[in-house]
Amino acid sequence: MIKVAVNGYGTIGKRVADAVSSQKDMEIIGVSKTKPSAEALVAVQRGYPLYIADMSKKDSFEKAGIPVAGSIEDMLKKADIVVDGTPGGVGAANKTFYEKAGVKAIWQGGEKHEIAEFSFNAHANYRDAIGRQFVRVVSCNTTGLCRVIKAMDDAFGVMKVRAVMVRRGADPHVIKKGPIDAIVLDPPTIPSHHGPDVNTVLPHIDIVTMAMIVPATQMHMHAITIELKKEGSRDEVLAVMQKHNRIGLIKPETTIRSSAELKEYVMDIGRPRADLWENGIFEASVNMVGKELFLFQAIHQEADVVVENIDAIRAMMGEVSDPETSIRMTNEAMQFTAL
Ligand code: NAD
| Residues 6 or more apart in contact with residue 304 via CB below 8 angstroms | 140, 143, 144, 246, 276, 277, 278, 279
CA of 13 from ligand 1 middle (Å) equals: 7
How many CA atoms lie less than 13 Å away from 22 in the CB half-sphere? 18
Taking the C-alpha atoms of residue 157 and residue 205, their distance in angstroms, rounded to an integer, is 10
Report the b/e string of 203-224 with b at 16+ CB within 10 A: eebebebbbbbbebbbbbbbeb
Task: List the residue whose alpha carbon is closest to atom 41 of ligand 1.
Answer: 302
Angle at 326 between CA 320 and CA 328, to 5 degrees: 145
User: Among residues 83, 101, 115, 140, which one is catalytic?
Assistant: 140
Q: How confident is the model at residue 277, as a pLDDT? A: 98
Q: Tell me the pLDDT band of 319, cut-offs 50, 70 and 90.
A: confident
Instruction: Tell which one of 32, 86, 165 to mutate to probe ligand 1, the residue whose CB is within 8 A of the most ligand atoms.
Output: 86
Q: How confident is the model at residue 337, as a pLDDT? A: 86
Q: Is the pLDDT of residue 67 over 90?
A: yes
Kind plus residue range of the DSSP H or E element containing 297: strand 292-299
Taking the C-alpha atoms of residue 323 and residue 271, their distance in angstroms, rounded to an integer, is 24
pTM: 0.98
Q: Tell me the pLDDT band of 268, cut-offs 50, 70 and 90.
A: very high
Angle at 305 between CA 153 and CA 298, to 5 degrees: 65
Q: How confident is the model at residue 157, as a pLDDT? A: 98
Rounded mean pLDDT, 150-157: 98
Rounded mean pLDDT, 91-95: 95
CA of 125 from ligand 1 middle (Å) equals: 24
How many CA atoms lie less than 13 Å away from 40 in the CB half-sphere? 21
Bridge partners of 6?
31, 83
Q: How confident is the model at residue 65, as a pLDDT? A: 95
CA of 84 from ligand 1 middle (Å) equals: 8
Instruction: Tell which one of 6, 7, 12, 57 to mutate to probe ligand 1, the residue whose CB is within 8 A of the most ligand atoms.
Output: 12
Pairing assessment for the beta strands 119-120 and 134-137 based on DSSP bridges: parallel
Q: What's the DSSP call for residue 87?
A: P
CB neighbours of residue 37 within 10 Å? 15
Question: Would you call 180 exposed, middle or buried from its count of C-beta atoms within 10 A (0-12, 13-18, 19+)?
Answer: exposed
pLDDT in tens, 136-152: 999 999 999 999 999 99
Rounded mean pLDDT, 125-132: 98
Question: Any catalytic annotation for residue 146?
Answer: no
CA of 85 from ligand 1 middle (Å) equals: 5
Q: Is 108 in the pocket of ligand 1 (CB under 6 A)?
A: yes
Question: pLDDT > 70: what percent of the chain?
Answer: 100
Q: Is 86 in the pocket of ligand 1 (CB under 6 A)?
A: yes
Q: Is 140 in the pocket of ligand 1 (CB under 6 A)?
A: yes
Q: Which domains does the chain have, with CATH numbers?
A: 2-138+305-333 (3.40.50.720), 140-299 (3.30.360.10)
Mean pLDDT of the chain: 97
Q: Is 32 in the pocket of ligand 1 (CB under 6 A)?
A: yes
Angle between helix 140-156 and 234-243 (nearest 10): 120
Bridge partners of 279?
247
Q: Is 336 in the pocket of ligand 1 (CB under 6 A)?
A: no
pLDDT in tens, 177-225: 999 999 999 999 999 999 999 999 999 999 999 999 999 999 999 999 9
CA of 37 from ligand 1 middle (Å) equals: 14
Ligand 1 atom nearest the C-alpha of 8 is 7
CA of 88 from ligand 1 middle (Å) equals: 6
Q: Is 319 in the pocket of ligand 1 (CB under 6 A)?
A: no
